Amino acid sequence: MLGLFLVLFWLVTYQVKSGRLTFMEKPVLAVSAAFERIVTAPFRFADSAINGYVFLVRAARENERLKQEMDRLRLENSIAGELLGENERLRDLLGFKKLPPLSSVAAQIIAKDASPSSRTITLDKGSGDGVVKDRAVISAGGVIGKVQASLPGSAKVILLTDPGSTIAVRVQRNREEGLLEGKLERCALKYVSYYADIQEGDLLVTSGLDGIFPKGLPVATVVSVSKHEATAFQTVLARPVVRLSRLEEALVLVP
């Protein structure tokens, strides 16, 4: 038995050096996603019944609030439209390449975090809907993660807090760049120079340099910065802008 434990430890250290093994990943996803649909179906039905009928009373109040919200967003949208037009004209003038339009697939989350050492979710959309490996997954608030594996009717998403996740980001305030790695509940901004100006509260947005996430999506907020004279870098921890534990739906960006 001791030998088995040693083999497992060797296997873990081997993957740290050479990358995670994806042995049997798709068959396990197929079996678990099929069961997850069956297991979650009664909860989803009950949830929709409660939202549809029992809480109907709240609908009028909610409707009023949404109308006000829509008026505000219309105004913001018209300002944004003006700025977008101006931006496009300036890009044309400077001869910049046109940015491709974003389109997305909406998906429901059918399962979360099966293992204590990783942070993943399962979506009810898969390769049949254009949800394939390394597609960006976002919500209204910002980045959630990226697709790790997909099958025709389901996909596994690795969240930005997973230790295997890496996202190219920059500080919105001063455009300092770094790589954001998952650290379970938080993330760490890596390879930030000792002399870079990073402050608590800074918003980190995608830089687009990883080729997966488009530029400018909110990712995380800096919660602590510490400098150690022994290293050339500083330790920056950040909290995701999206509350990952409360997610119910997600958008997968597709070309």
195-204 CB contacts, 8 Å cutoff, 24+ apart: 196/234, 198/171, 198/222, 198/225, 198/234, 198/236, 199/173, 199/225, 200/224, 200/225, 202/171, 202/172, 202/173, 203/171, 203/172, 203/173, 203/241, 204/169, 204/170, 204/171, 204/172, 204/180, 204/238
**Which residue from 124, 144, 148, 170 is in contact with other proteins, where contact means CB under 8 A?**
148
Exactly one of 29, 168, 204, 222 binds other proteins (CB under 8 A); that residue is 29
- Residue by residue, DSSP assigns 158-200 as EETTSTT-EEEEEETTT--EEEEEEETTEEEEES-BTT----T
Q: How far apart are CA 171 and CA 197, in angstroms?
A: 9
Q: Are 114 and 40 in contact (CB under 8 A)?
A: no
Instruction: Report the distance separating Cα 121 and Cα 144, nearest Å.
Output: 10
Near other proteins by CB under 8 A: residue from 127, 151, 153, 164: 164
The interface region with other proteins, picked from 74-82, 128-136, 161-169, 199-207 by CB under 8 A, is 161-169
Contact between 48 and other proteins per CB under 8 A = no
**Burial of residue 233 (number of CB atoms within 10 Å: 0-12, 13-18, 19+):** middle
- Selected from 105, 107, 119, 213, the binder of other proteins by CB under 8 A is 119
199 binds other proteins (CB under 8 A): no
Report the residue from 3, 95, 116, 255 that binds other proteins according to the rule CB under 8 A. Answer: 116
1 binds other proteins (CB under 8 A): yes
Q: Which of 4, 54, 56, 94 binds other proteins (CB under 8 A)?
A: 4
Contact between 153 and other proteins per CB under 8 A: no
For other proteins, the binding residue among 9, 55, 96, 191 (CB under 8 A) is 9
Regarding 45 and contact with other proteins (CB under 8 A), the answer is no
Q: Considering beta carbons, is residue 119 or 125 the nearer one to other proteins?
A: 119
Q: How far is the CB of 20 from other proteins (least distance, A)?
A: 6
User: How big is the CA angle at 167 (ends 95 and 179), to the nearest 5 degrees?
Assistant: 95
Footprint on residues 93-112 left by other proteins (CB under 8 A): 110-112
Binding to other proteins by residue 39, rule CB under 8 A? yes
**Residue 36 lies near other proteins (rule: CB under 8 A):** yes
Could you report how far apart the first and last alpha carbons of the chain are, in Å?
50
Cβ atoms of 119 and 113 closer than 8 Å:
yes
CB of 174: closest distance to other proteins in angstroms?
22
Q: Which residues would be at the binding site for other proteins (CB under 8 A)?
A: 1, 4-5, 8-9, 11-13, 15-16, 20-21, 23-25, 28-29, 31-32, 35-36, 38-40, 43, 110-120, 122, 148, 156, 158, 162-164, 181, 183-186, 188, 190, 235, 237, 243-246
